[in-house]
Structure 1
């Protein structure tokens, strides 16, 4: 029976709460973006489409359903994506990694948090402690690499236990664990909700990380036009996020329960991760590293051929159909180059309650001055953002450390150690957010 006479299933596994995957699932579903690109000519002239969406909290169950033939496309991170390829191979089949959705060549997005009252300020202070993490996740891979960088034996120097983020939140509040490592958005969400502090960001490990989409190879070969249609919908969603990040942060928040300011931390300008769909060499290497890590963990006894596992044919076709040049985008590294780091580290933002647009400033100094004025006008600050001087990542301003120079300039830092090091070299003074506000002439309040 030809495609023209078929009802064709397009079953997509999403991770809604993993908010950096929004362009590959949630937004496409909520805005019905896929349907506008599905073909209705040639062999698809009389075809009807059965679009199915299934939401999951992590990548592993998506892989299980893909291997079982219940899903055609799935979104997940680098580490579980490598597991996906291995699982398909063990089943005598294959999958293809067809696009990146969002990521960081420096590794931001994954992180480690501790209870709010913990004295720990760095990962190095957690030796002998209990750290939970969702096993087989990209955060698990990050934690193992970070522990190795410290020269620790993961089986002796630290106790790593499996724990989903829904459980970890309660465990942090009750003191049952000393720390929790997790992927997007929990290392930002838990501190934003006031019961945890982030002490380690994946950018400190310098290992690239990303989330992307995979497809069953048999499905892709049978319906290549549908894979391209899906990727064109991804491109549409990506454009919408870039154009109106506040609006779509609110939509994502409504669908997931993840606070909109946390969503904006990722999807706003100079976000914690870039919405880069192209296969940067760093992401290719990241997958190779993930596969090697799986071997060390005895989770895989064979490798994967990355030249076939990573398949950019469909993405290139989608770019062309959408009027974009893939190779130009592939060569573009947004704000990740060293030449732009100084400029990036100077920016700051304020999101006022009741306002639909974020206010952007050229420096933390300007943002704090504006914050003071807003407070005297009775306006409440929903969220404040700064950029880390060391690596450019976006951070919540009320969780940052600042170095105040004699000139009055403020530099923001995620890490207290980085702030102290910079202050020692520059002669500045290290202050936290509250100390900065108390130095202002008008009473102010911390972002809610």
Structure 2
């Protein structure tokens, strides 16, 4: 082989290798690691993966499942995931500690009717819980709901009832085994407890003290973005939000179609899955700017929620929530 031909072949091989590397790099740029669970706040992301909405927007979104919002946010801060859905309570805890490594980029839905406090049906009111054992997952929206309901009923959570920290997946069996008299649960466990005989729904999130005035549940779902990722790949975050809220519109306008993508995730029968979707109000892309404006009713409600967590000794101090809002990706 002469030198000229060998040089040409080496150059061609180098160009091909460079092209392959550039394609790998481009593909890597399109990968987003998302932190989710079977909770309904993650439905849009799961649907956008399964239906191809993310792919249609040029994204390869990888799903990682976490049992709690706190675990999900730990993964976000460590760089293992890029975007996550989370209940605001866990995000507020990080805000109160001054963490600036993430931003709130969107609001998912209003889930006021799929989280609530159930009790054995001989317990007719929240007041009747005095002296009873209540199972709840601590540091969650359900925990705050229970504290709020007890305060409204004039009950002291430290003296008048026994609050037991029970992981959400174990609450159903704890009720069945009569280890607890009542439980605060969210979907899909909400639907499973509601289907149990001899159970009574004492209150859902629409009974929360901030709900009627501000439309804020005990732990509204938000989308959070790791700031380092958002700074590096802002266009990818925008594409993610576009597809995510396209899936939200499907949930709102075509619940039966959306439900078919979700039963594998939640384990709910299709009719129950459709009912769960219909019980939430799904926010679309166009609503985000107004929801996340500093002076909006929703944002005022989030700040009052943060203040309430301090009142109930769930936070040491209340952060200025608006400092973590970033609408630039919308």
TM-score (norm 2): 0.80
Deviation at 1:262, TM superposition (A): 2.9
Is residue 2:245 matched to residue 1:235?
Answer: yes
Distance 1:301 1:313, change over 3 A: same
Distance 1:262 1:122, change over 3 A: farther
Paired residue for 1:29? 49
Paired residue for 1:81? 91
Counterpart selection for 1:248 from 238, 258, 265: 258
Deviation at 1:84, TM superposition (A): 4.3
Show CA shifts across 1:106-142 (max 9, x none). Answer: x433201123xx3012222111211111111111111
Counterpart selection for 2:227 from 217, 220, 230: 217
Counterparts of 1:175 and 1:3, CA distance in 2: 58
Matches of residues 170-185 of structure 1 in structure 2 within 5 Å? 170-185=173-188
Asked whether the equivalents of residues 66 and 216 of structure 1 are also in contact (C-alpha less than 8 Å), the reply is: yes
Is residue 2:112 matched to residue 1:110?
Answer: no
Asked whether the equivalents of residues 303 and 320 of structure 2 are also in contact (C-alpha less than 8 Å), the reply is: no
Show CA shifts across 1:232-264 (max 9, x none). Answer: 111210122233211222331233202333322
Asked whether the equivalents of residues 133 and 140 of structure 1 are also in contact (C-alpha less than 8 Å), the reply is: yes
Is residue 2:106 matched to residue 1:99?
Answer: yes
Counterpart selection for 2:150 from 147, 150, 175: 147
Is residue 2:273 matched to residue 1:273?
Answer: no
Distance 1:201 1:298, change over 3 A: closer
Distance 1:236 1:265, change over 3 A: same
Counterparts of 2:253 and 2:164, CA distance in 1: 41
Counterparts of 2:116 and 2:48, CA distance in 1: 27
Asked whether the equivalents of residues 85 and 95 of structure 1 are also in contact (C-alpha less than 8 Å), the reply is: no
Paired residue for 1:199? 202
Can you give the 5+ residue segments of structure 1 that lack an aligned partner in the other structure? Answer: 39-48, 316-448
**Structure 2 counterpart SS, 1:34:** helix
Counterparts of 2:118 and 2:223, CA distance in 1: 27
Instruction: Name which structure has the greater RCO, CA cutoff 8 Å, separation 6+.
Output: 2
Distance 1:62 1:187, change over 3 A: same
Distance 1:260 1:119, change over 3 A: same
Counterparts of 2:76 and 2:116, CA distance in 1: 28
Deviation at 1:309, TM superposition (A): 1.1
Deviation at 1:75, TM superposition (A): 0.6
**Structure 1 counterpart SS, 2:146:** helix
Paired residue for 1:288? 303
Deviation at 1:297, TM superposition (A): 5.3
Can you give the 5+ residue segments of structure 2 that lack an aligned partner in the other structure? Answer: 1-21
Distance 1:86 1:72, change over 3 A: farther
Matches of residues 357-376 of structure 1 in structure 2 within 5 Å? none
Asked whether the equivalents of residues 147 and 312 of structure 2 are also in contact (C-alpha less than 8 Å), the reply is: no
Distance 1:201 1:218, change over 3 A: same
Counterparts of 2:198 and 2:260, CA distance in 1: 23
**Structure 1 counterpart SS, 2:282:** coil
Counterparts of 1:215 and 1:195, CA distance in 2: 42
Deviation at 1:231, TM superposition (A): 0.5
Write 1 or 2 for the structure with the bigger share of helix: 2
Distance 1:52 1:250, change over 3 A: closer
Question: Which sits farther off after the overlay, 167-176 or 202-211?
Answer: 202-211
Distance 1:193 1:129, change over 3 A: closer
Counterparts of 2:236 and 2:144, CA distance in 1: 32
Paired residue for 1:305? 320
